[in-house]
Structure 1
Amino acid sequence: MSEKVLFVDDDANILAGYQRALRKQFRIEIAIGAEAALKLIERQGPYAVVVSDMYMPGMNGVQFLAKVKEIAPDTVRIMLTGNPDLRTAIEAVHHGHIFRFLTKPCPPESLAMALEAGIEQYRLITAERDLLEKTLSGSVRMLMEILAMVDPHLFGRAQTLRGYIRSLAQTLQIGEIWKLELAATLAQVGLVTIPPVVVLKARAGHSLSEAEQEMLERVPEISHNLLINIPRLEPVARIVLYQNKHFDGSGFPRDNVSGYDIPLGARMLKVLSDMCDLEESGVSRRRAFEVMRKREGWYDPRVLEAAAATFVSPAEARQQTEVPSMAVSVRGLRIGHVLASDVYTADGKLLISAGHRVSEALLERIRNFAEVTGIREPLYVEMRPGSGLVQAA
């Protein structure tokens, strides 16, 4: 039998007795006290089964087994006590999630049967986990291959976001980074269901019909639905669903979720995605964060500042001065201008976010909207010293 069993007690004589009685049937290791046992689990684990005494100095059996569940969740936990009572049993089950509750003195035969059952349970747990991991790995690999073939640009963006969210997670000291990396990688996988012509129009900054805009707005929902049925990806799917949600509750999806009820991974993705969008439009990273700080209610403030600390170099941070702006009309807007304020349609819909550099396609889009639905004027563009920009009518 290759699986190891760890006995924990504060009495060395009792531990020696367990070894003598069971070493022919099982690979027995012992630890005197909870602290020594935890160190042993970290250094020499995994153990299939951990058997602990209830009453030990410092950390009792319930506290110890609860800690074992945290650091070695696959390990099966068994409690041994010489003074059984209902309250102890309830605490052990609730906090330590024990598999068996045995009373002292426990005959070697009964103890051996409990260990055999525990080892079998451990094998079932690890076999199921291995199967899930293989299924997960295969499913994700397939999605990534599809993404790379269908949309190389999107695949490259996904890889960039994956690296960014890993760095931000380290700054925020967040565990289970794999969930965040998967969410960043697969956040836009739903775009593969959107007609390519619509995706290309959006990337070029061309005007979209109401139906096309609705298609793109639903991409997080489509991505979520593609991921939700893959084993163990439920938390990842939820992050993906809320990636465009504003901290104040506005944005997609249109529900009552807001603030810290939005998954942390989604709040991180919102900051990083918008940072990438602004950079792709020609805005410096420092300027991108200046723009985002002005978007009241959009971002989790802690995440936004952690991202700024992670991705803006100290040299750039020292240059954070207010850039003067000037008012221009749609007619006076020129290619190369950098928008200093958001651009809204006449009915109040956000058309272009501040920070975008005006390209030929973007200028055409603004003029088209001005002609068809109207644009709120004046617009404001950055005016830097020596730029030669003058007030336009």
Structure 2
Amino acid sequence: MDKPRIMFVDDDQEVLAAYARAFRKRYAVEVAAGPEVGLDMLRAGLPVAVVVSDLRMPGMDGVEFLGRVREIRPEAVRIILTGFADIGVAMAAVNKSKVFSFLAKPCPEADLEEALTAALRQYQLIAAEKELLRGTVRGTIKLLTNLLEMVNPEAFGKSSRVKRLAVDLGAYLGVEDAWRLELAAMLSQIGCAAMPAESLRRAYRGEPLPGDKAYEFAMHPRIAADLVSNIPRLREVAEIIAYQEKRYDGGGLPPDGVSGERIPLGARILKVALDFDTLEALYRYKRQSANPVAEALDRMVDREGWYDPEVFGALQSLATLPDGFEPRLVPVEELAPGMLLDQDVLDLTGELALSRGLELNTVSIRRLAGQVGQTGKKARWRVLVPPAEKLAFAKILDG
């Protein structure tokens, strides 16, 4: 079993050498001669469970250093050592850097060992909770999305397309915790699960709906947000979903006066992705445009105040960039998770079974195989094949 990795940071080489001698039998000890060296090691990907830092160091004190450690390695437990009995410094260390333990120098080896043991226990508890939560959330989300795929292919196809664009926009903009944005996009349409397919098809192509259906469609973000808010630790995701139709200038739903930067960034990204998908479909299918992407972007430009300028600028940059996907006609046995379906698939009754733009997974590939079995024909499917590394990653995610 690998030893837990501890990093000691001090500007005194003799102190660092003493730490290494005292603890190297029990831990994988890393030493950094100063805060900048320690930060460089963490930025390079060094996995550490605990970081122990001196308070007084030239150029950057321990409070600031551990604050930056928290940004780079938030899961690492942080301990600070000081020879100064300063309650103000102690409070700053706890409040700003979320320090787990504050020890006075000189610190007896037994006391430091006790602090390290407690810090490692805390690290293991956090790691175990994260893994449990990750498994629970992943299973719940997979259940919801699989149900949506089976119950309402129109809604699932919309969420699949929007998820890809939202994730690309988030990566382009350097969004932190991008997984929240991805989940919000995946679950953004679950409030539409009970809507008739024809009504959704019209709504997703920018066509007007009759009064009762228009109201039902307008309520879907709130319904989805209420559902997602019941999943542990997904409050921020639910908030993104709730504000997915909110305009940057404060118009749209919900009618609460929130506008501009007060709208969650994920919701601002989702709004751009949703509207672009709707307008692109309108110009592609309803108006038979020769260049639906360009016309959709032009229409969005005309909607003054609707979109976060930075997010919309990112869309304008990305919409014309090739993404490396290759169009192919593929028999069902060669389909793989991560490929994009490039055609609508109808069932034997003529109803939509799978929507164009769907990112294939094990469930949808099985349904395509079932389509072949029902018709008895040797079918090939139009798909867009991503680069090999994306295909490999999609296979891992699909499990």
- Which TM-score band applies after superposition, normalised by the shorter structure? 0.7 to 0.9
In 1: Cα distance, 2:220 partner to 2:236 partner:
17
Correspondence for 1:147: 148
Q: CA deviation at 1:255?
A: 1.2
Correspondence for 2:374: none
> Per-residue displacement from partner, 1:30-56 (whole Å, max 9, x unpaired)?
221112212223446322211111111
Residues 288 and 103 of structure 1: CA distance in aligned 2, closer, same or farther (over 3 Å) = same
In 2: Cα distance, 1:41 partner to 1:313 partner:
33
Residues 117 and 139 of structure 1: CA distance in aligned 2, closer, same or farther (over 3 Å) = same
Correspondence for 1:136: 137
In 1: Cα distance, 2:41 partner to 2:207 partner:
62
Query: Is residue 306 of structure 2 the alignment partner of residue 298 of structure 1?
Result: yes
In 1: Cα distance, 2:107 partner to 2:187 partner:
53
User: Is the 2:240–2:264 contact (alpha carbons within 8 Å) kept by the matching residues of 1?
Assistant: yes
3-state DSSP class of the match of 2:7? strand
> Per-residue displacement from partner, 1:90-140 (whole Å, max 9, x unpaired)?
221122111111111111111111111111111111111111111111111
Matches within 5 A, 1:43-192: 43=44, 45-192=46-193
In 1: Cα distance, 2:243 partner to 2:136 partner:
25
Correspondence for 1:193: 194
Residues 263 and 205 of structure 1: CA distance in aligned 2, closer, same or farther (over 3 Å) = closer
3-state DSSP class of the match of 2:172? helix
Amino acid at match of 2:313: E
Correspondence for 2:4: 3
Structure 1: 5+ residue stretches without partners: 315-393
> Per-residue displacement from partner, 1:45-101 (whole Å, max 9, x unpaired)?
322211111111122111111111111111111111112211211221122111111
Residues 226 and 295 of structure 1: CA distance in aligned 2, closer, same or farther (over 3 Å) = same
Correspondence for 1:29: 30
Residues 207 and 309 of structure 1: CA distance in aligned 2, closer, same or farther (over 3 Å) = closer
In 2: Cα distance, 1:108 partner to 1:264 partner:
47
Q: CA deviation at 1:149?
A: 0.9
3-state DSSP class of the match of 2:193? helix
Residues 11 and 161 of structure 1: CA distance in aligned 2, closer, same or farther (over 3 Å) = same
Q: CA deviation at 1:302?
A: 2.8
Residues 16 and 65 of structure 1: CA distance in aligned 2, closer, same or farther (over 3 Å) = same
Residues 109 and 171 of structure 1: CA distance in aligned 2, closer, same or farther (over 3 Å) = closer
Correspondence for 1:235: 236
3-state DSSP class of the match of 1:248? coil
User: Is the 1:22–1:108 contact (alpha carbons within 8 Å) kept by the matching residues of 2?
Assistant: no
In 1: Cα distance, 2:110 partner to 2:200 partner:
68
Amino acid at match of 1:133: R
Amino acid at match of 2:68: K
Structure 2: 5+ residue stretches without partners: 284-288, 323-399
Query: Is residue 273 of structure 2 the alignment partner of residue 265 of structure 1?
Result: no
Q: CA deviation at 1:277?
A: 1.3
Residues 304 and 203 of structure 1: CA distance in aligned 2, closer, same or farther (over 3 Å) = closer
3-state DSSP class of the match of 2:186? helix
Correspondence for 1:308: 316
Residues 31 and 153 of structure 1: CA distance in aligned 2, closer, same or farther (over 3 Å) = same
3-state DSSP class of the match of 2:232? coil
3-state DSSP class of the match of 2:256? coil
Residues 305 and 201 of structure 1: CA distance in aligned 2, closer, same or farther (over 3 Å) = closer
Alignment: residue pair count: 314
In 1: Cα distance, 2:296 partner to 2:206 partner:
18
Residues 245 and 205 of structure 1: CA distance in aligned 2, closer, same or farther (over 3 Å) = closer
Amino acid at match of 1:45: L
Instruction: Return 226-235 or 75-84, whichever deviates more.
Output: 226-235
Residues 97 and 255 of structure 1: CA distance in aligned 2, closer, same or farther (over 3 Å) = same
Q: CA deviation at 1:182?
A: 1.8
User: Is the 1:271–1:303 contact (alpha carbons within 8 Å) kept by the matching residues of 2?
Assistant: yes
> Per-residue displacement from partner, 1:224-255 (whole Å, max 9, x unpaired)?
11111222322221111111112221211111
Q: CA deviation at 1:211?
A: 2.8
Q: Indicate the structure (1 or 2) with the bigger Cα radius of gyration.
A: 1
3-state DSSP class of the match of 1:193? coil
Correspondence for 2:297: 289
In 2: Cα distance, 1:34 partner to 1:96 partner:
14
User: Is the 2:183–2:237 contact (alpha carbons within 8 Å) kept by the matching residues of 1?
Assistant: yes
3-state DSSP class of the match of 1:28? strand
Please, what TM-score do these two structures have when normalized by structure 1? 0.74
In 2: Cα distance, 1:205 partner to 1:310 partner:
22
In 1: Cα distance, 2:205 partner to 2:88 partner:
66
In 1: Cα distance, 2:296 partner to 2:198 partner:
28
Residues 108 and 305 of structure 1: CA distance in aligned 2, closer, same or farther (over 3 Å) = closer
In 2: Cα distance, 1:74 partner to 1:230 partner:
22
User: Is the 2:246–2:254 contact (alpha carbons within 8 Å) kept by the matching residues of 1?
Assistant: yes
In 2: Cα distance, 1:264 partner to 1:205 partner:
24
Correspondence for 1:363: none
Please, what TM-score do these two structures have when normalized by structure 2? 0.73
Instruction: Return 275-284 or 244-253, whichever deviates more.
Output: 275-284
Correspondence for 1:342: none
